[in-house]
Amino acid sequence: MQKDRFQPTVEYSRLLDSEDELAAFRNEFYIKPDVIYMDGNSLGLLSKRAEKSVIDVLEDWKGLGIDGWTEGKYPWFFLSEKLAEMSANLVGAKPEEVIVTGSTTVNLHQLAATFYQPKGNKTKILADELTFPSDIYALQSQLRLHGLNEETDLIRVKSRDGRYLHEEDIIAAMTDEIALIVLPTVLYRSGQILDMKRLTAEAHARGILIGFDGCHSVGAFPHSFSEWDVDFAFWCNYKHLNGGPGSVGSLYVNRKHFGTLPGLAGWFGSKKEKQFDMEHSFTQANTAGAFQIGTPHVLSLAPLIGSFEMFQEAGINRIREKSLKLTQYMMDLIEYDLDAMGFTIGNPKDERQRGGHISLEHKEAARICKALKENGVIPDYRAPNIIRLAPIALYNCFEDVWKVVQILKTIMIEKQFEKFSNDRNVVA
């Protein structure tokens, strides 16, 4: 283990960098020399390959006009499917079980509209009280569309400590009344990974369908959705997958559900060869592609071509391995350098439960984040007291992590945060 040979010196960080098999990928990203970016779990950085694939798509539009749909470097008509094929291994799926379409919240609406079918006394949706608000708003509105009660028909599993969820508590809430379960793969604040395999098995043992929001995990570590028999999943591609602001999201539908009529149907869910027959009867694709709605946002798909190529080359297992080393190293430094400064590590230390970011709690978190920014470190603040720091395997190095902790230490010793107010900005 790293811990055995841990040293708090910059030389040690450079030693770790010299051993890093993925180090070369850093050169493919736009990294500012005076900025240390620790926010790749909110918006990944631009790579030169993603930039290139955007330009390629623009060139095809410039040169081909409408024919870009079927000709050119990346025919747009098949681009969502091509990208699904490139990324399916990130979630442990067959290519036809994934489609790159919509956005996280829209895809949740699609999947809930499809798989939430309240019957008899099985009418409730199970989620959790720590989940991302958009997921809750979407589920509440789905309940309203069924004429159900958004408060009493949405069960939110409670956290015992405000940070983590216990799988036993979730399982205990899987009663006869639950029709559908939607949970995060990783909690967006504490970075806790839920045991998806166990939760899926327990849900199915009770005849309940289960789906996961993978925003904070896809691109950070491997998944085995098909092996675990997850019913559906959805995620964004602009966080760990570096697809750029507002890039198109993804969804997964287990092949056993192929043929289920989409709750929100549209012509792009058609069988490809039937779509332009323009019939008024819907012939749905026999793949996850059936859950597409309308024309894909081609220019927001384009960066994913270059970005996914890098994930294919780096390999998700190597990415996970480096990510775990980066976060372990950061925790080691925090314990060594920031002891007795009022910080609490609020993420799981166990590798099986630790996602891709560190969640550092402090009562002055909002203004410590402002001081970090002033010192060239980009963190991510989550109210009321969390500093999220995400060292990203493809573009952060171990020396970045060392520097961030030294900067934090100086901020605390010099009380630099005191010149800022302790509240959040509009976008945090």
Ligand X SMILES: *Cc1c(COP(=O)(O)O)cnc(C)c1O
Residues contributing to the site for ligand X (CB under 6 A) = 103-105, 132, 134-135, 184, 188, 213, 215-216, 236, 249
CB of 216 to ligand X, least distance (A): 5
| CA dihedral sign of residues 242, 243, 246, 251 | negative
Annotated binding site: 104-105, 132-135, 213, 216, 238, 267, 295
The Cα–Cα gap between 89 and 94 comes to: 7
CB of 188 to ligand X, least distance (A): 5
Q: Helix, strand, coil % (nearest 5) of the chain? A: 45, 15, 40
Q: Are strands 358-361 and 232-235 parallel, antiparallel or unpaired?
A: unpaired
Q: Which is nearer to ligand X, 132 or 398 (CB)?
A: 132
Tokens 């025919």 belong to residue = 75
Annotated binding site for pyridoxal 5'-phosphate: 104-105, 132-135, 213, 216, 238, 267, 295
Q: Which is nearer to ligand X, 164 or 343 (CB)?
A: 164
Q: Which is nearer to ligand X, 136 or 173 (CB)?
A: 136
Count of alpha carbons within 13 angstroms of residue 146, beta-carbon side: 25
CB of 239 to ligand X, least distance (A): 6
The Cα–Cα gap between 259 and 253 comes to: 11
Tokens 């069924």 belong to residue = 146
How many Å is the Cα radius of gyration of the chain? Answer: 22
CB of 217 to ligand X, least distance (A): 9
What lies within 8 Å, CB to CB, of 290 at 6+ separation is 253, 258, 262, 269, 284
Q: Which is nearer to ligand X, 104 or 110 (CB)?
A: 104
CB of 236 to ligand X, least distance (A): 4
CB of 219 to ligand X, least distance (A): 12
Q: Which is nearer to ligand X, 132 or 343 (CB)?
A: 132
The Cα–Cα gap between 164 and 185 comes to: 12
Whether residue 273 contacts residue 253, with contact meaning beta carbons closer than 8 Å, is answered with: no
Residue type at position 174 = M
Q: Which is nearer to ligand X, 139 or 368 (CB)?
A: 139
Burial class (CB within 10 angstroms; exposed 0-12, middle 13-18, buried 19+) of 17: middle
